[in-house]
Amino acid sequence: MSRKTILVTGGAGFIGSHLCLRLFDEGHRVICLDNCFTGSIDNLGERYREMVLSGRFEFVRHDVVDPIKIEVDQIYHLACPASPVHYQHNPVKTIKTNVIGTYNMLGLAKRAFGRMFQASTSEVYGDPAVHPQPEDYWGNVNPIGIRSCYDEGKRVAETLMFDYHRQHKLEIRVARIFNTYGPNMAVNDGRVMSNFICQALRGEPLTVYGDGSQTRSFCYVSDLVDGFVRLMNSNETGPINLGNDRELTMLELVNAIEKAVGRKLAVTNKPLPQDDPKQRQPDLTKARTLLGYEPRVSLEDGIRRTVDYFKKALAVSAS
């Protein structure tokens, strides 16, 4: 495989940090661009020094809302806060990141004749009326709700991707990512997996929103990153769903975390947030047949590895 120069925006975040490591280990030159809003270069851990010293890794602190010129072969565009707590913190900035940020990265890809990958989301399906969700489902999204800055922002980003493809013949890849978890999620991330595990480890009750009957399907991060690389290096534009199709309710997730920590956990109920999707499960037919993609890490294994990570992360944040 030839060595490429690859830009990863949002590369200091949860998924981006795993992607940077994977691409670096494949021998590529990796440029990690991030404004460190929800990510940190600490996510590269002990590998950071070695990577920089190799001359094949560079960190650029930059906001994708501002244009930048870099010569690259491929762009994985991940920059955007992903947790509802973080993307609702400054919704106008979230829209700017999704729309202007994607526009800027498309300009960069066009200028460099590069290939551009967009980290889209299952949120483009909104609160889905079709279940499981195939890629040809157009979704059920509230355009003016509190999740819209993210959902509609990502939908416009997909539109921009396909307009650049049609109008400028740009090579594009669009992945629709379903709920992903694993090491390097931030302790204060606010998503259900990190909340539940941190609450369990701190001896606090688990905050179940609503009655806990809503479903999600959780993918371990190494499986997702494998899907990213397969899609980027395939001939498919997408959109293609990536995730794990094992669906469970939030109450079933509580049980899975009880098994991982080896004890019964107290639960406290909180109101269901506005527009919270009732069900979510990817139809992975396209990913399986077109990319040979298969999620391999079981929920039990993935939760165990994530619990181990959060034990260390909580110890560091307490010291």
Note whether 17 binds ligand UDP by CB under 6 A.
no
Note whether 276 binds ligand UDP by CB under 6 A.
yes
User: What is the number of H-type helices and E-type strands within the chain?
Assistant: 11, 13
Q: How many CB atoms lie within 10 A of CB 61?
A: 11
Q: Which of 216, 223, 286, 295 binds ligand UDP (CB under 6 A)?
A: 216
Span near ligand UDP by CB under 6 A; candidates 41-49, 204-212, 258-266, 303-311: 204-212
In the chain, DSSP assigns E strands to 5-9, 29-34, 57-61, 74-77, 115-121, 171-177, 180-181, 206-209, 215-217, 219-220, 240-242, 247-249, 267-270
Q: What angle do CA 31, 36, 42 make, to 5 degrees?
A: 75
181 as an active site residue: the answer is no
Contact 40, 11 (CB under 8 A): no
Name the minimum Å distance from CB 87 to ligand NAD.
Answer: 8
Q: Which does 207 bind (CB under 5 to 8 A by kind): ligand UDP, ligand NAD, none?
A: ligand UDP
Report which DSSP code applies to 267: E
Catalytic member of 48, 76, 87, 150 = 150
| 81 vs 114, beta carbon nearer ligand NAD | 81
| 59 vs 266, beta carbon nearer ligand NAD | 59
Contact 128, 151 (CB under 8 A): no
Span near ligand UDP by CB under 6 A; candidates 66-74, 107-115, 202-210, 233-241: 202-210
| 63 vs 158, beta carbon nearer ligand NAD | 63
Q: For residue 196, is it left (φ>0), alpha (ψ between -120 and 50) or beta?
A: alpha
Contacts with ligand UDP, residue ranges (CB under 6 A): 83-84, 179, 191-192, 195, 207-209, 214, 216, 250, 272-273, 276
Report, as residue numbers or ranges, the catalytic residues.
150
